[in-house]
Amino acid sequence: MQQLFDLSGMVALVTGASTGLGAGMTLGLAGAGADIVLVDHRERTATAEKVRALGRRTLSLHGDLSDLGFVGKVVAETVDAFGKVDILVNNAGIIRRTPAIDFSIEDWDTVMNLNARSVFFLCQAAARDMRSRGWGKIVNIASLLSFSGGITVPSYAASKGAVAQI
């Protein structure tokens, strides 16, 4: 059964990789044999250390995924370091809680840019590498709010709805 989940020789790029669900997915992919690119908005070393303890190679990148320049850099640096992107997990996300009637344009844009726009353009950049090799897998993490909305989290619900459609 373990051979069904053998990712030896593969490279997985995981956003929001350092804590929570992202850390769990990162460690699961590494445990199955993948080398890992950890992407997070600030430097955290605990998850990367655990990945290395499993005998996997790592690259940690820190920056703002709502900056499309950084999005392009993530894929380029992954390919420079490991030669390819086999698996992309778009997990990074943020939420702002304010009643919809009072929600600001700044909060709307902040959430939409990270949760939806960066996901699309990271998929696009990774897919170019994957297509050139004829193989790759992309996993986008949405939310149950993708399908039900939220009166106090309108941009989060909309952004995760977009992710469910990408």
pLDDT score for 2 = 57
pLDDT digits (tens, 9 = 90+) for 21-57: 999 999 999 999 999 999 999 888 999 999 999 999 9
Q: Over 83-150, what HEC string results?
A: CCCCEEEECCCCCCCCCHHHCCHHHHHHHHHHHHHHHHHHHHHHHHHHHHHCCCEEEECCCCHHHHCC
Number of domains in the chain: 1
d(CA 57, CA 68): 26
Q: Where are the beta strands (DSSP E) in 6-57?
A: 11-15, 35-40
Q: What is the pTM of this model?
A: 0.94
Residue in 79, 113, 156, 157 annotated catalytic: 156
Mean pLDDT of the chain: 95
The per-residue pLDDT for 135 is 96
Catalytic site includes residue 156:
yes
- For range 120-128, the mean pLDDT: 98
Domain assignment of residue 120, given as a range: 2-165
CATH code assigned at 149: 3.40.50.720
Answer for the pair 90, 123: CB distance below 8 angstroms, yes or no.
yes
Confidence grade of residue 147 (pLDDT, cut at 50, 70, 90): confident
CA-CA distance, 141 to 111, in Å (whole number)? 15
**Sorting pLDDT into bands at 50, 70 and 90, what band is 71?**
very high
Strand partners, 62: 40
Q: Is the pLDDT of residue 1 over 60?
A: no
pLDDT at 148 over 90: no
Please tell me the predicted confidence (pLDDT) of residue 149: 78
